[in-house]
Amino acid sequence: LWTPANIVEDAIATVRAQVGDAKVLLGLSGGVDSSVVAALLHRAIGDQLTCVFVDNGLLRLHEGEQVMAMFAENMGVKVIRANAEEKFLSRLLGVTDPEAKRKVIGRTFIEVFDEEATKLQDVRFLAQGTIYPDVIESAGAKTGKAHVIKSHHNVGGLPEDMAFELVEPLRELFKDEVRKIGLELGLPYDMVYRHPFPGPGLGVRILAEVRKEYADILRRADHIFIEELRKADLYHKTSQAFAVFLPVRSVGVVGDARRYEWVIALRAVETIDFMTARWAHLPYEFLETVSNRIINEISGVSRVTYDISSKPPATIEWE
Ligand code: XMP
């Protein structure tokens, strides 16, 4: 019988049988899949699990603190937070091509993850939040004793010498099932039902060159947009919503002073499968509230635009 409780019970038994008393490492991103794996493995094997959370400086506002609060403080999961913002940002200097950015971010992720992993002793297993659609997507790819980390991170693989055995407790599940299991394991509704967030994070939402100044502005604008969507009960009526940083200056007037500041674009879409998407027809009054808040609260922004492009041809992300 498919009930979340049964699936959890089953998965716990399977994991225990597979890993015995060996140690397991998990890359925790804060996304739904890796969070559910963390909660599940923590319940199954407790302290045998160590998570590595890589803060690449391209996360949403307060995200690192939230991940640490939820898993380390509340649940007592062992989580190592690797603060690698400087490393990521310095590698990204001068990189403007979207695919090049993805590669830099992916490679740097592996390097940081690898550094943390090597510090740990006797780890035999690598856990991953692979779900059934990922399995189908990468059908034909090598499985088993592998050096793969989820395609989510857009990386080719871990270094050859890190030959872990894989633990993938969500391999047979669809996203909606993973969410139900997350709830069953006590994860909060808001985290389990959040919009997807790309592996390269804000790196592909800052057009052209990524700079810390831009990332800080974008994080605040994005936070306002999401906060207002939740407040207006519109968050779950959109499939994905976020802000984009446009590195162009536009004139604005505040009081008597002219400002020559950056532009923020808002993007919200409705979609079932993310292959096609319609721009979300958010109410004008709502957009007005968000725009006013962003311009008034963030001094580096003088103008807000709303993206009315559907996919195809426009992709959901701007890069
Ligand atoms: P596009 O922009 O291709 O996005 O219409 C479709 C979905 O994929 C997400 N996306 C990514 N996710 N790494 C990811 O993990 C990436 O490089 C990446 N690019 C796009 C995007 O957020 C949307 O949900």
User: pLDDT by residue for the chain (319 residues), tens digit each?
Assistant: 889 999 999 999 999 999 999 999 999 999 999 999 999 999 999 999 999 999 999 999 999 999 999 999 999 999 999 999 999 999 999 999 999 999 999 999 999 999 999 999 899 999 999 999 999 887 755 443 333 343 334 344 555 555 799 999 999 999 999 999 999 999 999 999 999 999 999 999 999 999 999 999 999 999 999 999 999 999 999 999 999 999 999 999 878 889 899 999 999 999 999 999 999 999 999 999 999 999 999 999 999 999 999 999 999 999 9
* Ligand 1 proximal residues by C-beta, below 6 Å: 102, 152, 154, 196, 198-200, 240, 274, 311, 315-317
> 35 vs 40, 51, 78, 182, 235, CA distance in Å?
9, 10, 13, 8, 21
Q: Which residue has a Cα nearest atom 11 of ligand 1?
A: 198
> 15 vs 3, 108, 117, 127, CA distance in Å?
18, 30, 21, 10
Index of the ligand 1 atom closest to the CA of residue 315? 5
Index of the ligand 1 atom closest to the CA of residue 196? 24
Distance of CA 107 from the midpoint of ligand 1 (Å): 18
31 marked as part of a ligand binding site = yes
Domains and CATH numbers, the chain: 4-192 (3.40.50.620), 205-306 (3.30.300.10)
Mutate to test the pocket of ligand 1, among 240, 273, 317, 319 (most ligand atoms within 8 A of CB): 317
Distance of CA 190 from the midpoint of ligand 1 (Å): 21
Q: What is the ipTM of this complex?
A: 0.99
pLDDT at 155: 41
Distance of CA 205 from the midpoint of ligand 1 (Å): 11
291 marked as part of a ligand binding site = no
pTM above 0.90, yes or no: yes
Distance of CA 136 from the midpoint of ligand 1 (Å): 17
pLDDT tens for 259-311 read 899 999 999 999 999 999 999 999 999 999 999 999 999 999 999 999 999 99
